[in-house]
């Protein structure tokens, strides 16, 4: 059983499992799936300031915080006990392109040349981790939700704003990966 859990699951199993989360949440408690709202819930719980954005009954949304904590715990368990010992397979063309930017340590999910405490204080690391994190947080707040909330939950509810947001997320991702990222990596 453990070996079955350790191997990557094909899209036709993992995709429907993720997709079935939306109707399960709707059927079990009329809840919408999304992760980015948890920052608002945490701020409303921890900051008793007189800010109107945080004045709501956040306790009704405590399930979402537990859901996000479960994702974190699941990630730690998967990394600690279910990690695949085989190296990640990367297309040779991508490996060559990354090497041209000085990224050669690509055996893990995050290249150490960018994502490490030492590189946080370099221009490249600061842009990737701090500015990139801010842009993701700002974008998800500005769009009224994150990619999981819009693409999975919003599209399944046939919401036009979610379709527009999802299209913009993908266009932004393509623009970032093909135009902005090469500029940042060449710094």
Query: Is the pLDDT assigned to residue 107 strictly greater than 70?
Result: no
108: confidence class by pLDDT, cuts 50, 70, 90: low
Give the DSSP H/E element, type plus range, for residue 11. helix 11-19
Tokens linked to 99:
């090497």
The alpha-helical segments, DSSP class H, found in 51-186 are: 62-81, 92-100, 123-125, 132-142, 147, 155-156, 160-175, 181-185
Question: Can you give the residue ranges of every domain in the chain?
Answer: 1-83, 114-187
Q: How far apart are CA 26 and CA 33, in angstroms?
A: 9
pLDDT of residue 163: 94
Whether this model's pTM surpasses 0.75 = no
Q: How far apart are CA 164 and CA 174, in angstroms?
A: 15
Residues 134-168 as b or e (16 or more Cβ within 10 Å = b) = eeeeebbeebebbbbbbbbbbeeeeeeebeebbee
pLDDT of residue 171: 95
Give pLDDT tens digits for 79-98.
888 877 777 788 889 889 88
Q: How far apart are CA 150 and CA 165, in angstroms?
A: 7
Mean per-residue pLDDT, 58-76: 90
Query: Is the pLDDT assigned to residue 150 strictly greater than 80?
Result: yes
The answer to whether 34 and 145 are in contact (CB under 8 A) is: yes
Give pLDDT tens digits for 8-49.
788 899 888 888 888 888 888 888 777 888 888 888 888 877
């Amino acid at each position: 059983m453990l070996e079955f859990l350790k191997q990557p699951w094909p899209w036709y199993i993992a995709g429907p499992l993720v997709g079935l989360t939306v109707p399960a949440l709707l059927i079990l408690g009329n809840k919408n799936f999304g992760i980015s709202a948890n920052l608002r819930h945490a701020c409303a719980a921890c900051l008793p300031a007189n800010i109107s954005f945080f004045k709501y009954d956040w306790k009704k949304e405590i399930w979402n915080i537990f859901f996000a904590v479960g994702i974190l715990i699941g990630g730690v368990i998967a990394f600690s006990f279910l990690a695949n010992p085989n190296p990640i397979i990367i297309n040779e063309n991508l490996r060559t392109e990354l090497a041209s930017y000085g990224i050669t340590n690509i055996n893990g999910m995050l290249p150490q040349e960018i994502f490490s405490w030492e590189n946080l204080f370099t221009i490249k690391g600061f842009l990737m981790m701090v500015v990139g994190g801010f842009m993701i947080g700002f974008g998800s707040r500005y769009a009224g939700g994150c990619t999981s909330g819009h693409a999975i939950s919003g599209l399944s509810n046939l919401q036009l704003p979610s379709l527009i947001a999802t299209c913009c997320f993908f266009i932004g991702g393509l623009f970032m990966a093909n135009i902005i990222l090469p500029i940042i990596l060449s710094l």
